[in-house]
């Protein structure tokens, strides 16, 4: 009985949508959900450099979101048939492109999630636009996703280079030291980070007394030339800002400690860092380092409760990327529930301008102008070893950066 009514309601919705001229080829048919189900696609790095900070555990986070959604709505849910498709894009733009097409066309995916690596993320944005299907980016940092490459079907969820620079660059300048020496890997990501940081530091009244682009990839694994230069610059920098990531970040930090730069009065700020990076370097190696975090698992009881469930499922504490994937999947399902259909245009309409609160999004708002999802961010500092009371509890939050300040204003380059 319920089923017949459901079908009738669905038909009514479809007729109405089609009648309003909003129906494209994808909304023809007599179901409110394409294929009578919802398919979420997690497209990310499952074996390479970013597989630890996101990877398979992001799939687990999305599964948690589905379970929570199903438990909340029970048989009032728009459907209980919600599945996850995953693919490894190997951080390569061309692979990301073909996997995204395959997900939308052949696997029936309604929403693609995650996609770290900016170059790959931008390719998927193009595919989403072309197929008129939804895409929530979590893993990539480029502001182009909400700038010149923005489109109606792409949302940028967790963080971006502006948020990192504005948080770490601005706050560190105001609170820790005015003079910076910036070390960045000399390729697109590093150059972009260097620009964003220089702008934020100067705006906060600081000075970039020196900056160097280190070879990328740095085959010798040695950063000593730059680290030795830092304390001898005039004026002497208070902060070394490193924009390296992954293994290169590990090398920079190991050698920063080896040359005892902190004892020479040069503090360390890291452009982009995940909880898993701190874990692999040990908090002792990073003690005192500041960075901007989009979310921290032990920030409050609500986060901790989520982190406990996550740990039960996969064995480690979640990074911000894991929590953001959970939140993104959940908010998408809520939007479909509210719209009563998985029609992309209808869901986008429901999402635009919406204010959201969940475990990841605090004071969250999905901006209609550029599809930037804004929320509170955090300036964090790695604890001294003596204060680390339990595994994975490595940082203290120095300051909450309010959602309104954390992200840039909508860019004029973005025409949705």
Partner 1 sequence: MSGFAQNTFNGLVSGAFYALLALGLAVIFGMLRVVNFAHGAFYMLGAFGAYVLLSEAGVPFWAALVIMPVGLGLLGMALERAVIHRLTKLDPLYNFLLTFGLTLILQDLVKLRYGVQSSPYETPSLLSGSVNFGLFDFPTYRVFILGFAVLLCVAVWWVLTRTRIGMVVRASTERPDLTRAFGIDVGRWVTPVFGFGIGLAGLAGVLAAPMRAVNPLMGADLIIVVFAVVVIGGLGSIFGSVAAGFGIGLVQAWGEAYLSNFPLVSQTIVFVVMAGVLLWRPAGLFGREEAPA
CB proximity list for 71: less than 8 A, separation 6 or greater: none
138 DSSP 8-state letter:
-
Q: How far is CA 248 from CA 115, 161, 361, in A?
A: 21, 18, 30
Select 55 or 169, whichever has its Cβ closest to partner 1: 55
Report in angstroms how near the CB of residue 340 gets to partner 1 at its nearest: 42
How far apart (Å, rounded) are the C-alpha atoms in residues 24 and 356?
29
How far apart (Å, rounded) are the C-alpha atoms in residues 36 and 28?
13
CB proximity list for 362: less than 8 A, separation 6 or greater: 375, 376, 403
Contact yes or no for 72/304 (Cβ under 8 A): no
Select 65 or 182, whichever has its Cβ closest to partner 1: 182
Report in angstroms how near the CB of residue 244 gets to partner 1 at its nearest: 10
Report in angstroms how near the CB of residue 331 gets to partner 1 at its nearest: 29
What b/e sequence results for 202-236 when a residue is b if at least 16 CB atoms lie within 10 Å of its CB, and e otherwise? eebebebbbbebbebebeeeebeebbeebbeeeee
Report in angstroms how near the CB of residue 235 gets to partner 1 at its nearest: 17
Select 50 or 155, whichever has its Cβ closest to partner 1: 50
Report in angstroms how near the CB of residue 217 gets to partner 1 at its nearest: 6
> Residue numbers of the site for partner 1 (CB under 8 A)?
47-49, 51-52, 186, 212-217, 219-222, 224-226, 228-229, 232, 246-248, 250-251, 254-255, 258-260, 276-277, 279-282, 284-285
Contact yes or no for 308/64 (Cβ under 8 A): no
Select 34 or 257, whichever has its Cβ closest to partner 1: 257
Report in angstroms how near the CB of residue 397 gets to partner 1 at its nearest: 23
Contact yes or no for 137/145 (Cβ under 8 A): yes
DSSP code string of 318-382: --HHHHHHHHHHHHHHHHHHHHTS--HHHHHHHHTT-EE-SSS-SSEEE-TTT-BEE--EEEEEE
Select 102 or 212, whichever has its Cβ closest to partner 1: 212
Select 147 or 190, whichever has its Cβ closest to partner 1: 190
Report in angstroms how near the CB of residue 304 gets to partner 1 at its nearest: 23
Report in angstroms how near the CB of residue 379 gets to partner 1 at its nearest: 24
Report in angstroms how near the CB of residue 135 gets to partner 1 at its nearest: 25
How far apart (Å, rounded) are the C-alpha atoms in residues 55 and 392?
18
Select 130 or 222, whichever has its Cβ closest to partner 1: 222
Beta pairing partners, 179: 207
Report in angstroms how near the CB of residue 408 gets to partner 1 at its nearest: 28
Phi/psi at 315 (nearest 5 deg)? 100, -10
Strands 377-382 and 290-293: antiparallel
Contact yes or no for 58/40 (Cβ under 8 A): no
Select 153 or 184, whichever has its Cβ closest to partner 1: 184
Phi/psi at 374 (nearest 5 deg)? -100, 150
Select 250 or 397, whichever has its Cβ closest to partner 1: 250
Select 44 or 331, whichever has its Cβ closest to partner 1: 44
3-state helix, strand, coil in the chain (%, to 5): 45, 20, 35
How far apart (Å, rounded) are the C-alpha atoms in residues 192 and 148?
15
């Amino acid at each position: 009985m319920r089923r017949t009514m459901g079908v009738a309601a669905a038909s009514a919705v479809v007729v109405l949508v089609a009648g309003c001229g909003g129906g494209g080829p994808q909304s023809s048919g007599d179901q409110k959900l394409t294929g009578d189900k919802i398919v979420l696609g997690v497209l990310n790095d499952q074996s390479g450099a970013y597989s630890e900070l996101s990877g398979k555990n992001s799939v687990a986070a999305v599964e948690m979101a589905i379970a929570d959604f199903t438990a909340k709505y029970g048989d009032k849910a728009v459907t209980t048939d919600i599945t996850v498709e995953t693919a490894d894009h190997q951080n390569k733009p061309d692979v990301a492109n073909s996997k995204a097409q395959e997900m939308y066309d052949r696997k029936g995916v309604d929403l693609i999630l995650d996609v770290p690596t900016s170059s790959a993320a931008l390719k998927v944005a193009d595919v989403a636009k072309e197929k008129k299907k939804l895409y929530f980016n979590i893993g990539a940092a480029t502001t182009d996703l909400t700038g010149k490459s923005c489109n109606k079907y792409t949302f940028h969820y967790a963080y971006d280079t502006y948020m990192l620079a504005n948080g770490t660059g601005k706050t560190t300048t105001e609170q820790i030291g005015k003079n910076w020496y910036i070390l960045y890997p000399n390729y697109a990501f590093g150059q972009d980070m260097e620009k964003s940081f220089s702008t934020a530091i100067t705006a906060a009244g600081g000075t970039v007394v020196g900056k160097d682009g280190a070879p990328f990839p740095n085959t010798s694994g040695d950063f000593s030339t730059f680290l030795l230069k830092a304390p001898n610059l005039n004026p002497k920098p208070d902060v070394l800002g490193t924009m390296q990531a992954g293994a290169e970040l590990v090398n920079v930090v190991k050698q920063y400690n080896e040359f005892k730069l902190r004892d020479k009065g040069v503090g360390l700020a890291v452009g982009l860092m995940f909880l898993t990076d701190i874990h692999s370097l040990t908090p002792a190696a990073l003690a005192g380092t500041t960075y901007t975090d989009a979310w921290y698992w032990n920030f409050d009881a609500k986060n901790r409760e989520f982190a406990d469930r996550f740990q039960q499922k996969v064995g480690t504490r979640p990074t911000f990327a894991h929590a953001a994937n959970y939140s993104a999947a959940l908010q998408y399902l809520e939007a479909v529930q509210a719209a009563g259909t998985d029609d992309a245009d209808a869901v986008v309409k429901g999402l635009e301008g919406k204010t959201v609160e969940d475990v990841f999004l605090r004071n969250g708002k999905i901006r209609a102008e550029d599809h930037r999802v804004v929320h509170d961010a955090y300036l964090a500092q790695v604890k001294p070893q003596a204060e680390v009371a339990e595994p994975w509890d490595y940082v203290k939050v120095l300051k909450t950066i309010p959602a309104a300040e954390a992200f840039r204003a909508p860019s004029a380059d973005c025409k949705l």
